[in-house]
């Protein structure tokens, strides 16, 4: 086995640690000194604050540090990373009211020095109230949503204001305890919303309800759990004319009946069936049994009885092979096919976290006997991400925690994986580190300093150069990941959510298309390039956990989705403490069939663990769920609701190992389907290969990673 070290490293580990902060053993003696121990700022104001990093003698250290505010989006700081003098003057601008925290920290997670102060931002006065629905005509005998939004003088939404909403004519219309408008009889009324001295009014009209019949037109009487049933209810008057603006209400009742299918007969004890029915009349069941679906309007209704049977997609996942890494944490992976003299062979690369900057190259041609064939060692604590070009010639590995703060990424020649060659180290303006990268069309998309992604031309990999940058302008913005497909870059930006950017997408005319499977974002593309990235669409994340993006076209419905994956550590990231972390979160399925009006339709999450990296192949989701293990999920058909509760899991696999960095503690980082197998990396124990087996279940047949063959 050969080991390679970047020729840029000329210092030993002791020097490396010292450059991060004077001495690891003295790190507790370092401390931050703030010019003020707290701040009071109004929206629209700013403050200048001097921050120093001092040693135990009160002297400045030659160490850079990061400055940021929490919660995300509340504070904007400039700069966000100081220089290496140990002192900086930061400008702080608030963008949200409340009690916020200004944080500072040095180094990597494993050995950082931290500090913080409180920033109080008072709530601005209320400015106005806006009614959310433009509808002013209602049918008598109906209950209707009548919502509003309160704004303050800073233009911010205020969610918890005590708003009084009343009707001028309660005999015609009034509000119930839940804030819904009850239309009682024909007539007119004025609706008034008031908070303090701010008042907004709207005139409404109640008309006689013309609906005499409601009819559910769907004739299907049996579905599987997870199948979406469109009820297509229609309201008609006494002459048989359709009333198009009748807001039909849908509901269901049901009783579970597991015993009929050889499952635990809990349904016999009276367990209620569970599912979801939407306002637009889509129904999906989570448990087997009999359901009564009702469509109603103004006292008129229709119902259908639906039998729900098991989805029956469960398969077995078996271990094929394992390459143990027991002395350092393993980060991401990439698997690819050999070229040239290695054509016909298969290779993989894995990174490392919180170690000595190693990337391991594997021969996985015989997955039962995977072996490391080369190692590249760089000046870094973490090689978080690894990618290989589509032609199998170039690899890129990321760097964080370099001793001289010259973080960035390395470009490698991997045409001979037994003798990997370092071609170039790119670290220009990347002092904070590169966490994730993607290679597409001779360009590297590098997530730089957690704030943006830089676009680097590597057509000549020995002479790369920056051609473009994409960065948000929102307060406290940050980014975790970027993925590029068909000239569109999909970035994951925590609270700012998903961003889709044209970096060379070919504009596609829907009128002339012949293939049903296409990405509607391409209808908006055609102006951007790597040197001129242009945003096409975006969708914020209300929870602030957006960590991963993965676009795909459903093979069974032709719908275009983008999955927004969470990463959330509510109890802290504990690997650096030698403890198992306990994350949460899931995969959110965003329907982007209309790029200007995306909507979340479904989610896959498990109660006991959180989500990390994922892959889609065909109609199958392959997810690395940290200590929840590998999850292979059926995503065929229309997607709606809670996919986990619908019994869509094909199989699971966990990887505890007694010789792991943390023994017997599975913690999956990333997974990739390759040929008829699935490779995944485990933070605590290295590289694995598994395979889905038992292709037959009931009357259905499955391929090697769980996709239904010839689905109905």
The domain made up of 316-701 has a fold known as Methylamine Dehydrogenase; Chain H (2.130.10)
Q: Say what the pLDDT of residue 7 is.
A: 39
DSSP string, 266-326: GGGGTPBP-EEE-TTSEEEESS-EEEEEEEEETTEEEEEEEEEE------EEEEEEEEE--
User: Residue 694's pLDDT is what?
Assistant: 74
529, 533, 539, 543: CA torsion to nearest 10: 120
DSSP-assigned states of every residue in 513-574? ---S---GGGGT-SS-BTTB-EEEEEE--TTS-EEEEEEEE-TTT--EEEEEEE-B-TT---
Residue recorded with tokens 């509003």: 148
* pLDDT per position as a tens digit, 515-547: 778 899 999 999 999 999 999 999 999 899 999
Cross-sheet strand order for the sheet of 599-604: 546-553, 560-566, 587-591, 599-604, 641-642
Please report the pLDDT score of residue 708 as a whole number: 58
Residue 375: enclosing H or E segment and its boundaries?
strand 371-377
Phi/psi of residue 267, each to 5°? Answer: -60, -25
What is the reported pLDDT for 668? 97
Quote the pLDDT of residue 138.
94
What would the CATH number be for the domain defined by 2-121?
2.60.40.10
Entry field: residues in the chain: 712
∠ CA 337-338-343, rounded to 5°: 115
pLDDT the model gives residue 41: 96
Successive 10-residue mean pLDDT values, the chain, 712 residues: 44 31 51 94 95 92 88 89 89 94 79 91 95 90 91 91 94 93 96 95 95 90 96 93 90 81 50 90 95 92 94 95 97 98 97 95 98 96 96 97 88 98 95 93 95 97 98 91 97 96 87 76 94 96 94 95 95 78 94 94 96 96 97 97 96 96 95 97 98 66 56 52
Residue 135's alpha-carbon distances to 144, 299, 335, 427, 700, in angstroms, are: 10, 21, 55, 56, 48
**pLDDT (tens digit per residue) in 232-281:** 999 999 999 999 888 899 999 998 876 665 555 444 455 778 999 999 99
The DSSP secondary-structure symbol of 265 reads G
- In this prediction, residue 108 carries a pLDDT of 58
Residue ranges of domains in the chain: 2-121, 126-207, 213-309, 316-701
Q: Are 646 and 225 in contact (CB under 8 A)?
A: yes
Say if 126-207 and 316-701 have the same CATH topology. Answer: no
pLDDT of 29: 78
CA 19 distance to own-chain centroid: 34
CB half-sphere exposure, 34, CA atoms < 13 A: 18
Q: What is the pTM of this model?
A: 0.88
Question: 612 is written with which tokens?
Answer: 């990390």
- pLDDT in the model for residue 237: 92
Q: Quickly name the fold that domain 213-309 has.
A: Immunoglobulin-like (2.60.40)
State the pLDDT at residue 66: 87
Tokens encoding 351: 């990174």
How far is the CA of 484 from the CAs of 295, 411, 441, 604, 623, in angstroms? 44, 18, 10, 23, 19
Does the N-terminal peptide bond of residue 276 adopt cis geometry, omega within 30 degrees of 0?
no
In contact, 629 and 668? CB cutoff 8 Å = yes
The tens digit of pLDDT for each residue in 648-690 reads 999 999 999 999 999 999 999 999 999 999 999 999 999 999 9
Residues 6+ apart with CB under 8 A from 497: 538, 539, 540, 541, 546, 564
Q: Which pLDDT value is given to residue 72? A: 84
Architecture of domain 126-207 in CATH? Sandwich (2.60)
């Amino acid at each position: 086995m050969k080991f390679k070290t970047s020729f840029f490293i000329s210092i030993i580990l002791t020097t490396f640690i010292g450059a991060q902060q004077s001495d690891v053993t003295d790190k507790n003696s370092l401390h931050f000194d703030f010019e003020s121990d707290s701040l009071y700022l109004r929206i629209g104001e700013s403050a200048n604050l001097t921050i120093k990093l001092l040693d135990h003698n009160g002297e400045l250290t030659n160490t850079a540090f990061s400055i940021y505010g929490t919660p995300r989006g509340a504070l904007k700081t400039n700069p966000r990373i100081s220089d290496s003098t140990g002192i900086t003057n930061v400008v702080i601008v608030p963008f949200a009211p409340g009690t916020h925290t200004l944080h500072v920290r040095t180094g990597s997670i494993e050995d950082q020095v931290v500090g913080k102060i409180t920033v109080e931002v008072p709530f601005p006065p209320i400015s106005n109230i806006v009614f959310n629905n433009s509808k002013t005509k209602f049918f008598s005998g109906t209950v209707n949503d009548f919502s509003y939004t309160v704004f303050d003088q800073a233009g911010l939404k205020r969610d918890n204001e005590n708003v009084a909403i009343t009707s001028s004519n309660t005999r015609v219309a009034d509000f119930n305890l839940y804030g819904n408008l009850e239309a009682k009889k024909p007539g007119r009324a004025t609706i008034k919303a008031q908070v303090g001295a701010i008042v907004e009014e709207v005139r409404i009209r109640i008309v006689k309800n013309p609906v005499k019949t409601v009819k559910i037109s769907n004739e299907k009487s049996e579905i599987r759990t997870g199948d979406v049933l469109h009820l297509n209810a229609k309201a008609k008057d006494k002459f048989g004319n359709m009333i198009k603006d009748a807001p039909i209400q849908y509901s269901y009742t049901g009783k579970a009946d597991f015993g009929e299918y050889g499952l635990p007969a809990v349904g016999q004890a009276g367990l209620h069936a569970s599912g979801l029915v939407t306002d637009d009349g889509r129904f999906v069941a989570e448990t087997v049994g009999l359901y009564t679906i009702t469509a109603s309007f103004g006292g008129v209704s229709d119902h259908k009885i639906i039998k729900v049977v098991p989805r029956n997609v469960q398969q077995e996942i078996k271990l094929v092979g394992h390459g143990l890494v027991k002395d350092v944490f393993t980060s991401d992976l990439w698997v690819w096919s050999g070229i040239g003299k290695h054509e016909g062979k298969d290779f993989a690369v894995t990174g490392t976290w919180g170690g000595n900057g190693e990337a391991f190259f594997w021969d996985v041609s015989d997955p039962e006997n995977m072996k490391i064939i080369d190692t590249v060692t760089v000046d870094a604590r973490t090689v978080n991400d690894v990618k290989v070009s589509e032609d199998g010639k170039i690899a890129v590995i990321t760097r964080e925690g370099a001793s001289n703060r010259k973080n960035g990424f390395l470009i490698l020649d991997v045409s001979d994986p037994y003798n990997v060659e370092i071609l170039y180290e790119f670290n220009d303006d990347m002092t904070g580190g590169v966490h994730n990268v993607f290679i597409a069309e001779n360009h590297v998309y590098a997530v730089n300093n957690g704030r943006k992604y830089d676009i680097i031309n590597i057509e000549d990999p020995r002479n790369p150069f920056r051609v473009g940058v994409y960065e948000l302008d929102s307060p406290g913005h940050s980014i975790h990941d970027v993925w590029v497909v068909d000239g569109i870059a999909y970035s994951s930006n925590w609270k700012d959510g998903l961003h889709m950017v044209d970096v060379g997408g070919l504009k596609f005319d829907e009128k002339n298309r012949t293939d049903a499977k296409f990405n509607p974002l391409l209808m908006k593309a055609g102006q951007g390039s790597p040197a001129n990235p242009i945003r096409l669409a975006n969708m914020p994340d209300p929870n602030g956990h957006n960590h991963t993006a993965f676009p795909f076209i459903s093979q069974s419905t032709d719908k275009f989705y983008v999955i927004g994956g969470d990463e959330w550590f509510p109890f802290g990231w504990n690997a650096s403490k030698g403890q198992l972390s306990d994350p949460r979160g899931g995969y959110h399925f965003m329907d982007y069939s209309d790029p200007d009006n995306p909507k979340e339709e479904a989610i896959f999450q498990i109660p006991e663990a959180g989500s990390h990296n994922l892959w889609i192949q065909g109609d199958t989701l392959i997810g690395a769920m940290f200590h929840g293990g590998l999850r292979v999920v059926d995503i065929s058909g229309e997607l709606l609701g809670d996919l986990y509760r619908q019994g869509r899991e094909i199989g699971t696999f966990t990887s505890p190992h007694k010789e792991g960095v943390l023994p017997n503690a599975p913690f999956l980082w990333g997974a990739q389907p390759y040929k008829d197998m699935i490779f995944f990396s485990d933070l605590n124990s290295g590289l694995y290969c598994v395979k889905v087996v038992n292709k037959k279940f009931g009357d259905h047949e499955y391929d090697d990673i769980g996709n239904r063959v010839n689905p109905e």
